[in-house]
């Protein structure tokens, strides 16, 4: 298997705009090294994230693009207002913090789209997104809507990441959708850090078939 385990330095960890602990102590933090490694492995041309908050996941993708000098454009879509599960952000100016760090560190290839996911659909052509991360509101209806509305935008052999696939709190429905999708499409998954699902709904490229076959090795490595 050609998969490489990198040991990146995440520049977001020392960003003064981002509150201490957010990057390393949040629900997404346990997937950062995987996010970095999958970008370096798959070399996507276009990455779109639905749901960014302070950027724990997004800046991991960006770090890989920067370190590997990839020709990749990254887009983070969020209202930066919060939702049913995060709560409303209110006076917390999370967008300003993310914008300030993004402008300084990654602006050559990274764009923040401050809008609803539905509004942002018009910005992307069909079959144009190589790596899509769906991490917005986690009700079944919301995540199903995000999947259905963004699937046409995914390129052939494109990858979709879903966070929170093992969370079974009331009103959390990603696990239900994940059960349905993973019964149909090639995939692999991690159970740590609320679970991350990796789905290939438009075909699975050859190198990823080996990764899927070796998923227990990856799970062991990233859950440490
Ligand atoms: C769980 S948080 C994202 C966490 C982030 N991926 C991380 O690494 O920390 C979900 C985000 O999605 C945003 N969101 C939820 N539904 C949305 C929608 N329909 N349109 C735009 N933003 C939305 C919220 O504002 C919130 O910031």
Cα separations in angstroms, 194 against 29, 74, 123:
10, 24, 30
Q: Are 39 and 133 in contact (CB under 8 A)?
A: no
- Is the model's pLDDT at 1 over the cut of 90? no
The mean pLDDT of the chain is: 97
Ligand 1 pocket, residue 182 CB under 6 Å: no
Ligand 1 pocket, residue 172 CB under 6 Å: no
User: What's the DSSP call for residue 17?
Assistant: T
Residue 144 Cα to ligand 1 midpoint, Å, equals 15
Q: Are 102 and 112 in contact (CB under 8 A)?
A: yes
Ligand 1 pocket, residue 56 CB under 6 Å: yes
- Which strand (E) or helix (H) includes residue 188? strand 187-190
Say what the pLDDT of residue 90 is.
83
- Is the model's pLDDT at 24 over the cut of 80? yes
Residue 219: pLDDT band (50, 70, 90) is very high
Question: Which homologous superfamily is 11-222 in?
Answer: Vaccinia Virus protein VP39 (3.40.50.150)
Residue 206 Cα to ligand 1 midpoint, Å, equals 32
Instruction: List the one residue out of 157, 224, 156, 165 whose CA is nearest residue 189.
Output: 165
Residue in the block written with tokens 């490595």: 221
Say what the pLDDT of residue 125 is.
98
Neighbours of 171 (CB within 10 A): 12
User: Could you read off the pLDDT of 120-145 as tens digits, one per residue?
Assistant: 999 999 999 999 999 999 999 999 99
Enumerate the β-bridge partners of residue 49. 76, 133
Task: Please give the average per-residue pLDDT across 84-113, as a whole number.
Answer: 94
Ligand 1 pocket, residue 79 CB under 6 Å: yes
Residue 219 Cα to ligand 1 midpoint, Å, equals 25
Ligand 1 pocket, residue 60 CB under 6 Å: no
What are the domain boundaries of the chain?
Answer: 11-222
- Is the model's pLDDT at 146 over the cut of 80? yes
pTM across the whole model: 0.98
């Amino acid at each position: 298997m050609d998969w490489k385990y990198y040991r990146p330095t995440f520049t977001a960890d020392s960003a003064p705009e981002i509150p201490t602990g957010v990057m390393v102590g949040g629900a997404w933090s346990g997937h950062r090294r995987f996010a970095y490694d999958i970008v370096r492995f798959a070399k996507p041309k276009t990455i779109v994230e639905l749901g960014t908050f302070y950027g724990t996941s997004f800046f991991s993708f960006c770090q890989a693009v920067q370190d590997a000098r990839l020709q990749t454009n990254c887009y983070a879509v969020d209202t930066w207002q919060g939702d049913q599960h995060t709560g409303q952000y209110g006076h917390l100016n999370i967008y300003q913090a993310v914008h300030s760090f993004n402008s300084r560190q990654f602006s050559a290839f990274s764009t923040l789209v401050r809008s609803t996911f539905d509004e942002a659909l018009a910005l992307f052509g069909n079959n144009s997104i190589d790596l899509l991360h769906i991490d917005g509101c986690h009700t079944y209806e919301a995540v199903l809507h995000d999947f259905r509305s963004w699937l046409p935008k995914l390129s052939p052999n494109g990858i979709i990441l879903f966070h929170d696939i093992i969370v079974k709190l009331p009103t959390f429905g990603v696990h239900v959708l994940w059960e349905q999708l993973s019964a149909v499409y090639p995939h692999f998954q991690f159970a740590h850090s609320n679970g991350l699902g990796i789905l290939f709904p438009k075909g699975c490229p050859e190198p990823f078939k080996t990764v899927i076959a070796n998923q227990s090795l990856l799970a062991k490595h990233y859950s440490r």
